Amino acid sequence: MIVEEFEKVELLEKLGLNEINDGTTTGTEWFSNGEILESYSPADARLIGKVKASSAEDYQKVISKAEEAFKIWRAVPAPKRGEIVRQFGNKLREYKTALGKLVSYEMGKSYQEGLGEVQEMIDICDFAVGQSRQLYGFTMQSERPGHRMYDQYHPLGIVGVISAFNFPVAVWSWNAAMAWICGNVVVWKPSEKVPLCGVACQKIFQEVLKENDLPDGISCLINGDYKIGEMMTQDPRVALISATGSTRMGKIVAQTVAARLGKSILELGGNNAIIVTPDADLKTTIIGAVFGAVGTAGQRCTTTRRLIIHESIYDKVKEALVKAYAQLNIGDPLNENNHVGPLIDKDAVKMYENALSEVKREGGSFAVEGGVLSGEGYESGCYVKPAIAEVRNDFEIVQKETFAPILYLIKYSGGVENAIELQNGVAQGLSSAIMTNNLREAETFLSFAGSDCGIANVNIGTSGAEIGGAFGGEKETGGGRESGSDAWKAYMRRQTNTVNFSTKVPLAQGVKFDVF
């Protein structure tokens, strides 16, 4: 390992990682027969470690173990399953610093964001523990005398999770914690760009399995490229696929899973906007917009990509943003003084550069110029300048999601309805926000004629969702919900039950069928 010594202990040894790690596990048994995945940090281009990918034979072994474990796990009372999740949450508290640093170093997000991601894991465990005692159904009134009718929920079986590089651990935990308390077992394929984070999480959960003498297969890990993901999406034994990634990827997953009549949760692209009205508080607006635009170097699905500003305050907001951007520190994500870390890899940098060129080609201009950083501290070639572009909403590049810190400023005139039309005028529908102290504007934005996104906020930005609310979007964002509220229902199958406790057999709708 070639990270500094103090980091080596925390990032690797404490998490039980070696120079070459098996990337396949059924819980306590580790094995892999696939090719080697090398994990390089975008922070300094250094090799962190290696993970052996899963082969087709490895995959089959994992699914078989998961099927066996499901038969045992589903019979465990839900509150007891919740107790296991509670213990996992406590383990995460112990490992928070080490895992947060690994997330930061392997993915490139700031250390504070890495810690925040682990805190999300802890929070969803806490939420799931309480939910484990609230897997409720409803009782309905039957039209037939002496009958009771109700619905209840049963676990699905194997839940497959395909996660993206930008949240290497949190999104898996949103799915896993809820799936576990519902009685499911989980098979996880993390992004091949951040394989060590997945191995680390499984090693932490492995401690809980051993301490509670639980069977292998409750939490499984597979690693590899899209081919491993295809095995999951095509496999009828995997009842639900929860996939996070691009819209292009999501459409492939949706078609494949639907073809076998499986279930899916899709968390795909976002093209999120904040509307800034004349009644907005400027300080609140700038804080929300800047963090939303540059947090995780613009590599969040909830990143603020468009700022739709009323013409009467446009210049004032732009001036404040330019001043705020001048104060951003860009560099080593493990340095807590830095606000912005690197993009994930050189391909992401090329996408960023292409987007800047496209802005100019379509006639846009820059309030803050972008560019790739070089020199001391930027040797990896993955550090870029957050840019602010002045554009129109109908620009082709604005209609796309560019996973990079480029904020588009768009001017609107007239009432808030015009801004909402611009906000909704993209193919994606994940997160949205309005900055205003005008009650009518806020309520219009939240009404049926307002935002068409799955998330709509007032006086906070588009980024930074809490786990207590259901997370997800509409349109090309894919649909489906994860995390809080009643999202647990997606991990279960619904069953309607009718019990006849009378001595007669009356039929519904008054149908007569006398044979005696």
Burial class (CB in 10 A: 0-12, 13-18, 19+), 29: middle
CB atoms within 10 A of CB 491: 27
Contact 2, 47 (CB under 8 A): yes
Tell the residue number behind the tokens 């929300």, with chain if given.
288
> Could you confirm whether 267 is annotated as catalytic?
yes
Contact 15, 200 (CB under 8 A): yes
3-class DSSP state of 35? coil
Considering the candidates 301, 401, 441, 453, report the single residue annotated as catalytic. 301
Q: Taking the CA of residue 26 as centre, how many other CA atoms within 13 Å lie in the half-sphere pointing to its CB? A: 19
Contacts with 370 (C-beta within 8 Å, 6 or more apart), sequence order: 352, 356, 384, 385, 386, 387, 406
Contacts with 466 (C-beta within 8 Å, 6 or more apart), sequence order: 123, 484
- 492, containing H or E segment: strand 492-500
Contact 449, 92 (CB under 8 A): no
Considering the candidates 192, 267, 401, 441, report the single residue annotated as catalytic. 267
> Could you confirm whether 182 is annotated as catalytic?
no
What is the distance between the alpha carbons of residues 341 and 378, in angstroms, rounded to a whole number?
10
- 399, containing H or E segment: none
Residue 457, CA distances (Å) to 8, 90, 120, 309, 314 in order: 41, 31, 20, 16, 21
Contact 339, 294 (CB under 8 A): yes
Burial class (CB in 10 A: 0-12, 13-18, 19+), 45: middle
- At 107, list the tokens: 């993915």
Residue 212, CA distances (Å) to 88, 170, 173, 359 in order: 11, 24, 20, 56
List the end-to-end C-alpha distance of the chain, in Å, as a whole number. Answer: 82
DSSP letter at 9 equals I
Identity of the amino acid at 61: K
Contacts with 58 (C-beta within 8 Å, 6 or more apart), sequence order: 24, 31, 32, 33, 34, 222
Point out the residues that are catalytic: 267, 301
